[in-house]
Amino acid sequence: MHRQNLGEMLVAANLIDEVQMQIALAEQRQSGRRFGSTLVDLKFIDENVLAAFLSKQIDVPCISLLHVDIPKKVLRKLPRSVVMDCKAIPVRIEADRLEVAMVDPTDIDELEKLEKAAGMTVTPLIAPESSIATMIERCYPEERDIDDTVSARQRPPRNLPNDPIFWDIVAEMESGDLDQRLTRIEQKLEQTWVLLEKILRKLENEGAHRVER
């Protein structure tokens, strides 16, 4: 589906008029942004209406992202630079396919870029651009400057905790492949939080008993 065809279909569906289409095309040529995004920026169409229309026209599911819990192992399939560039976010893995929410699933170049980065076949979904941007900000926080990271690695460690849980986590980081290591580390951290919550509850209960006495 080309941008011109999308405009013509929106006009045929009475979602925009001919004048709005021509204004958006002229603006799109200047800005280089997607035609659909330009329509939304100009407030000629609501982004949710556009997403639903695209979903129906090209038979690609539309997804509401803001209440979706995306596993970390799925997020690790695509780096932040790629999701920022493509305005897309991975949602789930089904068999050997990665489902990715996109603003424009008809963009073949972006699909190829996503598949190359993920190393697997991508199944596109449609989502409004604002919800994709919100999820990218939530799931892919801005990375620290490379120079800061390098200098931090060069500094010798100080005051390392003498705690078996800490050293268990360090050991996990040095064994297995990356996904397995990160998964095990996440499990260790979850176990640690559960233990801390139990200790805090116990301390609160003991404090309450002392006050009663």
Q: Is the pLDDT of residue 110 over 80?
A: yes
158 contact partners, CB below 8 Å, separation of at least 6: none
Share of the chain above pLDDT 70, in %: 75
pLDDT for the residue 170: 59
Is residue 89 located within the same domain as residue 133?
yes
With respect to residue 10, please indicate whether it lies within any of the assigned structural domains: yes
Looking at the fold, whether 135 and 77 belong to one and the same domain comes out as: yes
Task: Let me know whether 79 and 134 are in one domain.
Answer: yes
Domain count, the chain: 3
Please state at what angle helix 3-12 crosses helix 18-31, rounded to 10 degrees. 160
Q: SS3 of 71, please?
A: coil
> Is the predicted pLDDT of residue 23 greater than 90, yes or no?
yes
Distances (CA, A) of 23 to 5, 11, 39, 96, 154: 15, 13, 9, 42, 54
Helix, strand, coil percentages for the chain (3-state, nearest 5): 60, 10, 30
Residue 156: band (very low, low, confident or very high) from pLDDT cuts 50, 70, 90: very low
Q: What is the pLDDT of residue 34?
A: 84
For residue 62, being part of any structural domain is answered with: no
Give domain status of residue 82, yes or no: yes
> According to the model, what pLDDT value does residue 213 have?
56
CATH no. for residue 133? 3.30.300.160
Choice between 104 and 187, residue whose per-residue pLDDT is larger: 104
One domain, residues 174 and 134:
no
Q: Do 132 and 169 share a domain, yes or no?
A: no
Same domain, 36 and 76: no
- Distance, in Å, from the CA atom of 8 to the CA atom of 27, rounded to the nearest integer, reads 16
Pair 89, 132 in one domain: yes
Mean pLDDT of the chain: 81
User: Are 135 and 168 members of one domain?
Assistant: no
Average pLDDT over residues 1-28: 85
Contacts with 184 (C-beta within 8 Å, 6 or more apart), sequence order: 172, 176
Q: Which domain holds residue 27?
A: 3-45
171, pLDDT greater than 80: no
Q: Is residue 155 part of a domain?
A: no
- Band (150; pLDDT cuts 50, 70, 90): very low
- For residue 186, is it within any domain? yes
* Contact indicator for 92, 99 with CB cutoff of 8 Å: yes
Residues in Cβ contact with 1 at an 8 Å cutoff, skipping those fewer than 6 apart = 9, 57, 58, 106
Q: For residue 153, is pLDDT > 90?
A: no
**Residue 191 covered by a domain:** yes
Residue 132 falls inside a structural domain: yes
Residue 149 is assigned to a structural domain of this protein: no
| Most confident by average pLDDT, 31-35, 79-83, 197-201, 203-207 | 79-83
pTM for the full predicted model: 0.62
Mean pLDDT of 80-109: 92
**Paired tokens of 99:** 């489902």
Percent of the chain with pLDDT strictly greater than 90: 48
pLDDT for residue 149: 45
The C-alpha atoms of residue 14 and residue 53 are separated, in whole angstroms, by 12
